[in-house]
Amino acid sequence: MNGDCGRMNGRHADSPNRRKSLDMLHMHKNIIAAFIALFAFAALPTAANARLQCVAYARQVSEVQISGNARDWWNNAAGRYDRGQAPKPGAVLAFAGTRAMPYGHVAVVSKIVDDRHILINHANWSRPGMVERGVMAVDVSPAGDWSQVRVWYAPTGSLGLRPSAAKGFIYPRTVTASAATARTAG
């Protein structure tokens, strides 16, 4: 009789209640696993598309190897790289830190169009992590010294509405400031 009582109370391996309990447990495990998979899937794009910052991108595509936030590059380049106000392909345009851009910004000059227009390659400007190549940057400073720059902004399909403060250009060791100035002036 004890065997029958055990079966009736759901304690025997063959009991319908025991199987139902195991099925429910298995179903709960599947639901939890599905939620974990869904959470991992939702989190994956964020982790997989970790935002590429402008500093990391500039170091990857240029010969200028400086650490620190973009706003610090101009000062960190002193004594290590020539700096100046004339664009040159391969140079890094260093933007100042501002209220709108507290960490500053850096971009690599890809081509000089004319005295006031250049094409740049950079990341994290139009959209977080977005890399843009060959986009327009325009010197809008009154003195023509690249201290105020408007940059192509993809969401509006135009140059940015406001100028951004820039410190100047940091030249790779293969380009000197005097050579860059002479080539730009000529």
Would you list the domain boundaries of the chain?
Answer: 2-48, 54-185
Angle in degrees, 0-180, between the axes of helices 54-61 and 70-77, rounded to the nearest 10: 50
Superfamily name and number for 54-185: endopeptidase domain like (from Nostoc punctiforme) (3.90.1720.10)
φ, ψ (nearest 5 deg) of residue 31: -65, -45
Q: Which two tokens stand for residue 31?
A: 């639901």
86: tokens are 């004339």
Which pLDDT value is given to residue 19? Answer: 75
What is the chain's mean pLDDT, rounded? 83
Percent of the chain residues past pLDDT 70, beyond the cut: 74
| pLDDT at 44 exceeding the cut of 50 | no
**pLDDT tens column, 89-131:** 999 999 999 999 999 999 999 999 999 999 999 999 999 999 9
Lowest mean pLDDT among 15-19, 56-60, 133-137: 15-19
Q: Between these two residues, 180 and 168, which has the higher pLDDT value?
A: 168
Backbone angles phi, psi at 110, to 5 degrees: -105, -30
Higher pLDDT, 174 or 161: 161
Question: What is the pLDDT averaged over residues 155-171?
Answer: 95
DSSP string over 63-114: S----S-HHHHHHHHTTTS-EESS--TTPEEEEPP-SSSTT-EEEEEEEEEE
pTM summary value: 0.69
